[in-house]
Amino acid sequence: MERTERLDDLERTEHKHWGPASGRGPASGRGPASGREPASGRGPASGGEPDGQNPETIRLPVFDLIDKTVKILNDNRKTLETYADVLQAYFHSALRDHEESLVNISTRVKGDSSLREKILRKNLYKRYAYPEGIIQNLSDLIGVRIQCRFLEEERLLYDALRDRFTQSCADGLYCEPEQPNIRLEMRGVQPQQQNNGYAIYRIDGMCGPVGHAVRFELQIKALVHVFWAEVEHEIIYKNNSYILMDSFMKQMLSSAYDNLRSVDRQLYLIYNQIQNQSEPEDSYLREASVRSLFAKAISDLFFRKMRDSLGFTLNFKRSCDILSRYILARQNPITHQPAQSLMDIFQRINRIAMADIDFEAPLALEAPFRGEEPFLNILADHLMMQMNADYDWNLFFRMLFTLEPGSNLEDFSNLLYMMRDRFCMEEIYEPLREFWSEEQIENFKQWLLVPLAHQLVADGTIQIIYEETFDTIVARLQTVVRDTAAMLRAGNFTPSRYTLWKP
């Protein structure tokens, strides 16, 4: 069904069990249409003595009111879900010129348990004696969340909506001139200040014809704010245990939030760097800049985490450089969907910023690694032994396992295969194609890689995964391949003549 048809259908939508919503806008609760009733003690929410009830079945009147309110909600849920679908489609269309900034637009109709909890937490049973009044004046009966990538983009999207909602309506709200059935309260200051002290773009709205509309709440949130809201909701607000919110607790929460904002800023700079350097001739500079910025983001994050865990820090900048190059190479954000790749990384770092990391705990794989090539197994056996014996390796793998989304075994395996692939690049062995089949070239690769693995194990330090080490090994392989091709051309190739990796 087309969006315009669905919006027109709102004119004909009827709601069961409740009258028209107030014409004074989402903040209104006054007047006969608002649903507000005097709490006289004589309505359904009255606390008077029940007549003719078995004492064992006596129930507080507030819970009868809650049950009736939930019933009205569920009787009208399908209609409300239709409104929610209309709102989602509308805002997708309204913000089509800003698709790059959008991560998602989602809607939801208030759930049963959420409504029950809100009636009690907000004392709505004291303000409205009848369930219709609660439903009519529930500002977030439908919730709409516009999710963007960066904090900077929250304002951009709000301004885009403000530029569209310019016509004043009879209920005091604003709409697009051609779409009066979706209206927003655009007179207030945005962003609003929440009780927790943080800012949020929260806009009240009405969906449907004036006098027969339902309320909805629109929020515009960057990934940082989405994640922080989940943390507060699940850990703080839903935890009804007695929590002493002393100055230390508040400082810790503030520090965690500041960490998230810092990560957002760094990745916003990375993204802008990509966007601003888009010419092909700038490709190398662009990749180098992104790697450096991402390495700094990793370094800043784990610097704070190590200081919190150990009370001091070590110099692990080189490991951050390696991880930056490795993760970005796997994501490949420079040439393939840079925004989505960076958003994936961004969400990962957001979650890490909120997690505790124990820098003293040993690391383990979920199962022993076993590859199909000797090179992989030789390196794997060594690295599994060094993982908890050499703190440089321990720190590197701790950061790798934390940053990458797979299991420890998957991350460990991916790293080994990346090393193998670096030494098996097709261009290294191209000179041999003139003389050998693919099978012969593959056998030759294995012949080269086994002594290479033993040499890397003999060195043992984390320097074996430094970029300059990789470059040196690739250059040595290219020399060996060129010499081999020359001997094949001359007809005097003898593999045993080579001592590959030692002077």
Domain final residue pick, 208, 232, 256 = 232
- Does some domain include residue 114? yes
Residue in the block written with tokens 């209309």: 86
Strands 214-222, 142-148: parallel, antiparallel or unpaired by DSSP? parallel
Give the number of C-alpha atoms closer than 13 A to the C-alpha of residue 498, restricted to the C-beta side. 19
- What is the pTM for the complete model shown? 0.53
**Phi and psi at residue 44, in whole multiples of 5°?**
-60, -25
Pair (214, 299) in one structural domain: no
Which pair of structure tokens corresponds to residue 474?
Answer: 């690739």
- Does some domain include residue 502? no
Per-residue pLDDT, 150: 87
Distance between CA atoms of residues 311 and 51, nearest Å? 67
Pair (136, 162) in one structural domain: yes
Distance between CA atoms of residues 207 and 12, nearest Å? 13
Distance between CA atoms of residues 303 and 41, nearest Å? 60
Pair (189, 332) in one structural domain: no
Pair (260, 221) in one structural domain: no
- Does some domain include residue 401? yes
Pair (101, 19) in one structural domain: yes
Of 383, 370, 348, nearest in space to 460 by CA: 383
- Does some domain include residue 313? yes
Which pair of structure tokens corresponds to residue 388?
Answer: 């908890």
Q: Give the count of domains, the chain.
A: 3
Pair (116, 227) in one structural domain: yes
- Does some domain include residue 237? no
Distance between CA atoms of residues 203 and 121, nearest Å? 21
- Does some domain include residue 366? no
Which pair of structure tokens corresponds to residue 111?
Answer: 């759930």
For the chain, the C-alpha Rg in angstroms (whole number) is 31
Write out the H or E segment, with its range, that includes residue 328. helix 317-331
Pair (490, 385) in one structural domain: yes
Per-residue pLDDT, 35: 44
Per-residue pLDDT, 309: 84
Pair (424, 347) in one structural domain: no
Of 284, 264, 321, 361, nearest in space to 465 by CA: 321
Per-residue pLDDT, 13: 52
The CATH code of the domain that includes 210 is 3.30.460.10
Domain final residue pick, 232, 266, 300 = 232
Q: State which amino acid sits at residue 163.
A: D
Domain final residue pick, 187, 208, 232 = 232
* 238: helix, strand or coil: coil
Per-residue pLDDT, 324: 84
**Beta carbons of 13 and 206 less than 8 angstroms apart:** no
Per-residue pLDDT, 42: 40
Pair (261, 228) in one structural domain: no
Per-residue pLDDT, 109: 96
Pair (154, 228) in one structural domain: yes
Per-residue pLDDT, 135: 94
| pLDDT per 10-residue tile (average), the chain, 503 residues | 49 52 41 41 45 65 94 95 95 92 92 93 92 94 93 93 93 92 93 82 93 93 82 59 55 72 73 58 56 80 85 85 82 51 66 82 92 93 93 92 88 92 92 90 90 91 90 92 88 60 37
Q: Which domain holds residue 81?
A: 3-232
**Beta carbons of 368 and 274 less than 8 angstroms apart:** no
Pair (154, 10) in one structural domain: yes
Per-residue pLDDT, 239: 53
**Beta carbons of 90 and 182 less than 8 angstroms apart:** yes
- Does some domain include residue 241? no
**Peptide bond preceding 191 in cis form (omega within 30 of 0):** yes
Pair (154, 187) in one structural domain: yes
